[in-house]
Chains A and B, each alone.
Chain A
């Protein structure tokens, strides 16, 4: 069964550093998403991406964050100048149709120290 692949599985970074989280969505999917889950809390929507542009973003997704689909297969989330509160599990998801059952990756656990 096709999978969404995320790398790395775990990233430790120092406060203030930039990180790039990578995702390879399922090849025939058109809609791409980033979510995050702070330990013990709800899964929160960050951003949706369609047709090479951001469709919607949450209040969390401020200027510190950016997304890119640089080469038609990878989908990246960049966090500039990381803060301690950015520590969370970040999930990439993709879907063939908008709003109808997404495939999530296994996540990247980001720890900011």
Chain B
């Protein structure tokens, strides 16, 4: 498997339900970030969690990070039809030296929220 892999690949839920997406990675990281992409559009930064943090909240978003398992999860609570998009995790690797901030993206989870 590759750095930054999300599962599931696709998730279909009803409005009001919670959506959970998972991400696994392979290398040591400085931080892990989640981005959202509406169809054919640019990437929007959602939330960043540093390697020394375990959980972070932002509005309806909750991110967890388990560096021992090299995994993260993104929870969107009380989902809305407008949350329909692709969600990507991206890691900023810690190579033991200077990082120039290169992000390694996962394949993404396509979330569909039905009204």
Contacts and interface: CB of A to CB of B under 8 A. Distances in A.
B57 interface: no
Interface residues of B, number: 26
A46 B77 CA distance: 34
Contacts, number: 71
B31 interface: yes
Interface string A51-63: 0000110100000
B98 to A, nearest CB: 8
Contact of A42 (B31, B45, B106): B106
A4 B100 CA distance: 19
A106 B41 contact: yes
A48 B43 contact: no
A104 B100 contact: no
Interface in A1-23: 4, 6
Of B35, B88, B100, most A-chain CB atoms within 10 Å: B100
A95 B101 contact: yes
Given A42-B108, A43-B43, A91-B42, A101 B33 contact: yes
B48 interface: yes
A101 B91 CA distance: 11
Given A43-B88, A99-B92, A33 B41 contact: no
A63 to B, nearest CB: 20
B108 A98 contact: no
B102 A44 contact: no
Contacts of B28: none
A68 B99 CA distance: 21
A104 B42 contact: yes
Contacts of A42: 2, 4, 105-108
Interface of A: 4, 6, 31, 33, 35, 41-45, 48, 50, 55-56, 58, 89, 91, 93, 95, 97-107, 109
Interface of B: 2, 4, 30-31, 33, 35, 40-45, 48, 88, 90, 92, 99-108
